[in-house]
Amino acid sequence: MADLLRLLLRVAEKAANVARVCRQEAPLFQLLVQEKTGDDKNKKFVQDFKTLADVVIQEMIRHDVGAQFPEMIGFIHGEESNKFENGLGESVTVTVCVTEEQTAALLASVLDSDDTAASLLARAIHQDPATIETGTEGLSVPLSPSELGIWIDPIDATSQYIDGREEVLEEGHLSPSGLHCALVLIGVYLRSTGEPVMGVINQPFNYKDPAGGGWTGKHFWGVSCGGVNSCSISRPKDRPDGSKGGGGLSVVLSSSEKQVVKEALVPLCGPDKLMYASGAGYKILCVIQGLADVYVLSEGSTFKWDSCAPHALLRALGGGVVDLTKCLQSGAGTDGHRAELVYHQPHTESQGADRWANQGGLVAYLDCTLLHSVIGGLKGKL
């Protein structure tokens, strides 16, 4: 199934391209930023353009994966529903059609006949992405399509994507907000156990060319199954300042994290090592890259599509993502394996998106010892 990984890398690159085009092309960008102003909220269609861009990306991924791996159709899930209502009250199901012209016509019916915007979007969807260096040569993945399911987050950290603040990324440093927090996430899990086995992350806005102004993205991938653990980046080395020893942990949190959690973590952290960043996917990526030791979230505010892809990368590097509540409840500290998040079963007692929430909160980690320290520090405090 290395073919599936290569396809996901390619389709994620295409998705990143659509995300960039929506910000670069004026007619699309205008629709995107209209959402910000409450009064001016787009009256033309019932859902906002941001949601349409998300759905278009999700459906494009679903279309391309289903075309090459028909056994996976029916097991490709995303954050968004593809049913739209247009200004005339008509219900439109957004899909990727056989030709660019057909897709443009379908999108025009949702975009209230804005043919320019519809054509630009359709062109980006049907365009072949630039060839990317995947580094997957010689990789063999012992999986078959009929045992797999997929979670897609077309654009994680949409608020950062729309705000569009441009940050110059500093090597080895976490940058809390900005366009670079927006990520395309595609995660693959085993239908039988729910374990995440393959993940692709594309960061569409990684580097801005100072001369031309165009953005270049960056991609990451990981595979963890049947004794194969392989990742596009290597496991970060222990920090030079010795923070894995006595120097204290570095932790990344949501800016909306509870005060009690922050207070419980301060004694474990080195100075300035309690950090904040936007985007659930970006925070896990910070752990993958070694920019933070752990990401702690006490609320059930992330979903399977946020965590599946980056979770697979963490596993490939020897780490994981656990359910925080389960870890805090288990008597003997942490049983990492039993508490690892799984991706195949909904919470049947919940409704809508909450059926797929990571309800118990989470901790993303690379190093088991550090996970234990965090659980120890939070026990009895929440």
- Contact residues toward Ca ion (CB under 5 A) are 153, 156, 306
Could you say which of 24, 34, 81, 301 contacts ligand 2IP (CB under 6 A)?
301
Q: Which does 358 bind (CB under 5 to 8 A by kind): ligand 2IP, Ca ion, none?
A: none
| Per-residue x/- track, 240-259, ligand 2IP (CB under 6 A) | --------------x-x---
- 263 as an active site residue: the answer is no
Task: Give dist(CA 287, CA 365) in Å, integer.
Answer: 7
Per the rule left: phi > 0, alpha: psi between -120 and 50, beta: everything else, 39 is alpha
Whole-angstrom distance, CA of residue 141 vs CA of residue 356: 27
Residue 17 binding partner per list Ca ion, ligand 2IP, none, with a CB distance cut-off of 5 to 8 Å that depends on partner kind: none
b (16+ CB within 10 A) / e for 204-225? bbeebeeeeeebebbbbbbbbb
From 54, 80, 257, 293, the catalytic residue = 54
* 79 classed as catalytic: yes
User: Binding residues for ligand 2IP, how many (CB under 6 A)?
Assistant: 13
Residue 153 is a catalytic residue? yes
Residue 167: what residue type?
Answer: E
Beta strands in the chain (DSSP E): 76-78, 83-85, 91-93, 148-156, 183-190, 196-208, 215-225, 228-231, 249-253, 269-276, 294-297, 320-323, 362-365
- Is 358 a residue that touches ligand 2IP (CB under 6 A)? no
Nearest approach, Cβ of 325 to ligand 2IP (angstroms)?
16
Among the residue ranges 15-23, 156-164, 197-205, 242-250, the one whose residues contact ligand 2IP (CB under 6 A): 156-164
User: Residue 373, interface with ligand 2IP (CB under 6 A)?
Assistant: no
Report the residue number, 69 or 295, with the smaller CB distance to Ca ion: 295
User: Judged by CB under 6 A, which stretch of 142-150, 154-162, 266-274, 320-328 contacts ligand 2IP?
Assistant: 154-162
Does residue 153 interact with ligand 2IP by CB under 6 A? yes
CB 308 within 8 A of CB 151: yes
Q: Where are the alpha helices (DSSP H) in 88-183?
A: 100-110, 115-126, 158-163
178 Rama class: left (phi>0) / alpha (psi -120 to 50) / beta = left
d(CA 238, CA 236): 7
The residue of the chain with the least Cβ separation from Ca ion equals 156
Q: What angle do CA 94, 124, 133 make, to 5 degrees?
A: 120
Of the residues 302, 307, 358, 373, which one makes contact with ligand 2IP according to CB under 6 A: 302
288 is catalytic: no
* Interaction between residue 307 and ligand 2IP (CB under 6 A): no
Residue with tokens 């809508």: 352
Q: Are 309 and 199 in contact (CB under 8 A)?
A: yes
Please identify which of the residues 64, 306, 323, 367 carries the catalytic annotation. Answer: 306
Nearer to ligand 2IP, 64 or 306 (CB): 306
φ and ψ at residue 203, rounded to 5 degrees: -105, 95
Catalytic site includes residue 158: yes
Residue whose C-alpha is closest to residue 44's, from 84, 79, 83: 84
| Closer to ligand 2IP by Cβ: residue 116 or 325 | 325
Q: Which residues bind ligand 2IP (CB under 6 A)?
A: 153, 156-158, 254, 256, 278-280, 301-303, 306
Residues with catalytic roles: 54, 79, 153, 155-156, 158, 306
